[in-house]
Each structure stands twice: as structure tokens, then as C-alpha cells.
Amino acid sequence: MKDKIWLSSPHMGGGEQKYVQEAFDTNWVAPLGPNVNGFEADLENYIGKETKVACLASGTSALHLALILSDVTYGDEVLCQSITFSASANPIVYQGAKPVFIDSEYETWNMCPKVLEEAIEDRISKGKKPKAIIVVHLYGMPAKMNEIMSVARKYDITLIEDAAEALGSKYKKNKCGTFGDFGILSFNGNKIITTSGGGALVCKNNKEKEKAIFLATQARDNAPHYQHSEIGYNYRMSNITAGIGRGQMEVLDEHINYRRANHKFYKDLFLNVEGITLLTEPNDDYYSNHWLTSIIIDEKITGFNREDLRLIMLEDNIETRPLWKPMHLQPVFKDCSYYGSNISEKLFKDGLCLPSGSNLTDADRERIKLSINKLLEK
Ligand SMILES: *Cc1c(COP(=O)(O)O)cnc(C)c1O
């Protein structure tokens, strides 16, 4: 059996261990230190727009703190994109609030601005204005941010941008994570850069960043003893993992170029294949990091479905994955409200994510091509 080709695996640049070694040499083996500060500065520089970044234990903890800083509490409603990873929605429940799920549109596969507005109107007419909106940039593709932001502004609702999959992606030349009142990033093992596990909260100013760090370090008041006036969390990033992050920042743009080259490879492969649609940038306003290249298969035209393709590639030891199963279809969220016309259900039924790692080799791509062609040539 040939080696497994993964959907997206960690890809070290080479500089990471130098920062980790420095942490050991200086005994900064703690959830604070020069690497944490350095990684935050690197991210602030990279994302731009004078944002302030707090490095945390995970993207999920970043979302949780974003909700807390947005004043989301017990009984509140939060509008959340339905097609996403469960980590986008779980922190809503941590706060005792209720997720209300919103369908996608076909162009970017992200939250549909029209459905979002319909949902807000309907919730208001039922007597409750939603407290926050969580929009996701799925697979690195920016959502329709102009429209989403104008709806959020019109109704004066806090906007949280889940950019866990979209570090380096841009919309109208601005980086994802800078549009919302808060943005979140993830550095989990299969994301565009990884610290093995980690995340970050993108804030608009230092006050918010400091409050996030305060909450992430057990909410200790300013006193010589341990004094607490608020509930805190243990959510800060370790100085060891932040060292990995600093090394990864040195290769981030290079790795985005590799991912974009993978996307081009698939685009060429499916160029003359009817019934297969790639998730692509709708126009020049969009720049995707193409974290995962994903396709929709129209079985009526192709004669095979996403499971046929997934299984034939699995036989060749190549990992692919169905799109995220929409949250409103998940057993755990079955009692939550949902707005839309089931575009996200159709995407889930027909969609497949293809191997997209920045470390794929020419030989890997050749194997992928041969495997896919087995079905295409049938
Ligand atoms: C990975 C991911 C998260 C969670 O990030 P972790 O660092 O794994 O906690 C949140 N939202 C989306 C869309 C993700 O893909």
C-alpha cells in the first residue's frame, strides 16, 4: 500500500524549533512569554488594519471569549452559519445562549445575507433581537462581507467572524478576521498554519485584547493575593506552542501559494468535466487561501456521487471528506431554529473536500489524478 495522502496535514517550515529551543534555553515554559508576545505581534502585522491579537489555547476558546466580550449571556439568541464545524456553534451553548442557524448561498457557500436579514426580522417580530452573528469563511473562501456587515449595522448587532479556516484570505484587499467586531483564528493540526493546537482572538483595540487576556488567565484582579470579581478561564496559549507559530508565520504566504496551486491543479483536472463545480472566487473582490479545495458533484450529470468518489480514492489510500454537515441537521442541535431553503443541505449531500495540503508533492498530485480519472473515464 502506498503512503496515505492526507486531506491537510501539518507542514513545518523549518524555523519552528529555533523558537521552541529559545523557550527552553530561557526557561519560558509557561502560558506566557516572548514567543506569545512575538506571535501576537507577527499576527497583528500580518492581518493589519491596526487590529490587536490575543493568542489563546484554541479557536474554540477564542470564539467563547468573543461571545463573552459581546455580552452574550443566558437566554440570548445568536445567529450562526449552519454549514460549518461544530466549534463555531458550541460556544453559544457554553454561554447558555441559543443558536439560530442560517443557510448559505451558492457563490461562496457561506452565510446568505438575505436569509440573515429575514431571520433577524422574524426573531424581532417574535419579540427577541439576536445578540450576535457568527459568520464563517468556509474552506478559506471569504463570505459576502459587504452585505453581511451592512445587515449587522442596520440592526446594530455584533458581528463575529470565524476566520479559523481563512488566515491570509482577503475580501476587497482586507484580510479576513478584520471585518467583524471580533475575529477568531485557529492553529489546529490541519489548519493553514498549525501550532499543534491553538487559536487567537482578533480585537479592534488594546482594551478588548487586555480584557480577553484577563479572562483567559483566570480573571485575576490586581492584588498581591488571589482576588477574583469575575469568572475566569484557562485559555491562554503556551509559550512553547507560540514558538511553533512564530516559525509557521515565516512560511505562511508560501504555504498559501502552494494551496492555491493545488486549487489550480484541480481546476485544470475538472476543466472539461460536466457536473463538477469547484468552490472558486466569485470575482476579484475575493482572494481565498484555498485551505481546502472542495467540489460539488451533480450525480445526474456525472453518473457518480461524492461517496463513489470518496470510496474510490480511499481504496488508493487518499483521504477526502464530505463537506461539514450543517448544524441544523446535527442531533445535538435538533431543537434549534433554522432559516433558509436547504442550500447547505444540498451542499452537504453533493460536496467533497479534496487533499489540499501545502506539502503535497507532484507525485501525490499524480496519484490523485490517476485515482479520480478512474471514475471520470468510466
Ligand atoms: C477549526 C475550526 C474552529 C475551531 O478551532 P480549534 O482551534 O480547533 O478550536 C472553529 N471554526 C471553524 C470553522 C473551524 O474550522
- Is 50 domain-assigned? yes
Q: Which of 70, 37, 63 minimizes the C-alpha distance to 52?
A: 37
CA 162 / ligand 1 centre spacing (Å): 8
Find out whether 138 and 83 touch, Cβ atoms under 8 Å. Answer: yes
- Is 9 domain-assigned? no
Q: Coil, strand, or helix at residue 141?
A: coil
**Closest ligand 1 atom number to CA of residue 136:** 13
In this structure, the answer to whether residues 107 and 43 fall within a common structural domain is yes
| CB 136 near ligand 1, within 6 Å | yes
In this structure, the answer to whether residues 84 and 215 fall within a common structural domain is yes
- Is 276 domain-assigned? yes
**pLDDT reported for residue 337:** 97
The bridge status of strand 321-322 relative to strand 174-175 is unpaired
DSSP label at residue 274: T
Q: Which of 189, 184, 186, 169 minimizes the C-alpha distance to 253?
A: 169
In this structure, the answer to whether residues 192 and 120 fall within a common structural domain is yes
- Residue of 55, 58, 60 best suited for mutating to test ligand 1, as the one with most atoms within 8 Å of CB: 60
| CB 87 near ligand 1, within 6 Å | yes
- Kindly give, in sequence order, each residue whose CB lies less than 8 Å from that of residue 171, ignoring residues fewer than 6 positions away: 142, 143, 145, 179, 285, 286, 287
- Is 1 domain-assigned? no
**Closest ligand 1 atom number to CA of residue 197:** 7
Domain residues for 280?
253-376
Domain's final residue, options 215, 234, 250: 250
Give dist(CA 40, CA 38) in Å, integer.
5
Q: Please tell me the pTM assigned to this model.
A: 0.97
- Kindly give, in sequence order, each residue whose CB lies less than 8 Å from that of residue 292, ignoring residues fewer than 6 positions away: 7, 8, 139, 140, 165, 353, 354, 356
| CB 320 near ligand 1, within 6 Å | no
Give dist(CA 351, CA 296) in Å, integer.
4
HEC secondary structure over 57-94: CCHHHHHHHHHHHCCCCCCCEEEEECCCCHHHCHHHHH
Give Cα 134 to chain centroid, integer Å: 11
Domain's final residue, options 250, 285, 312: 250
- Is 8 domain-assigned? no
Find out whether 78 and 100 touch, Cβ atoms under 8 Å. Answer: yes
| CB 161 near ligand 1, within 6 Å | no
In this structure, the answer to whether residues 233 and 258 fall within a common structural domain is no
In this structure, the answer to whether residues 200 and 266 fall within a common structural domain is no
In this structure, the answer to whether residues 127 and 219 fall within a common structural domain is yes
pLDDT digits (tens), the chain, 378 positions: 789 999 999 999 999 999 999 999 999 999 999 999 999 999 999 999 999 999 999 999 999 999 999 999 999 999 999 999 999 999 999 999 999 999 999 999 999 999 999 999 999 999 999 999 999 999 999 999 999 999 999 999 999 999 999 999 999 999 999 999 999 999 999 999 999 999 999 999 999 999 999 999 999 999 999 999 999 999 999 999 999 999 999 999 999 999 999 999 999 999 999 999 999 999 999 999 999 999 999 999 999 999 999 999 999 999 999 999 999 999 999 999 999 999 999 999 999 999 999 999 999 999 999 999 999 987
**pLDDT reported for residue 320:** 98
CA angle 48, 49, 51 (to 5 degrees): 80
In this structure, the answer to whether residues 322 and 239 fall within a common structural domain is no
- What's the one-letter identity of residue 260? R
The bridge status of strand 286-287 relative to strand 321-322 is unpaired
In this structure, the answer to whether residues 290 and 221 fall within a common structural domain is no
CA 334 / ligand 1 centre spacing (Å): 21
- Is 7 domain-assigned? no
| CB 188 near ligand 1, within 6 Å | yes
| CB 138 near ligand 1, within 6 Å | no
CA 163 / ligand 1 centre spacing (Å): 8
- What count of other Cβ atoms lies within 10 Å of the Cβ of residue 11? 18
**pLDDT reported for residue 378:** 75
**Closest ligand 1 atom number to CA of residue 186:** 7
- Domain count for the chain: 2
| CB 165 near ligand 1, within 6 Å | yes
Residue 125: C-alpha distances to residues 121, 153, 336 (Å): 6, 18, 17
Domain's final residue, options 229, 250, 271: 250
In this structure, the answer to whether residues 135 and 216 fall within a common structural domain is yes
**Closest ligand 1 atom number to CA of residue 62:** 9
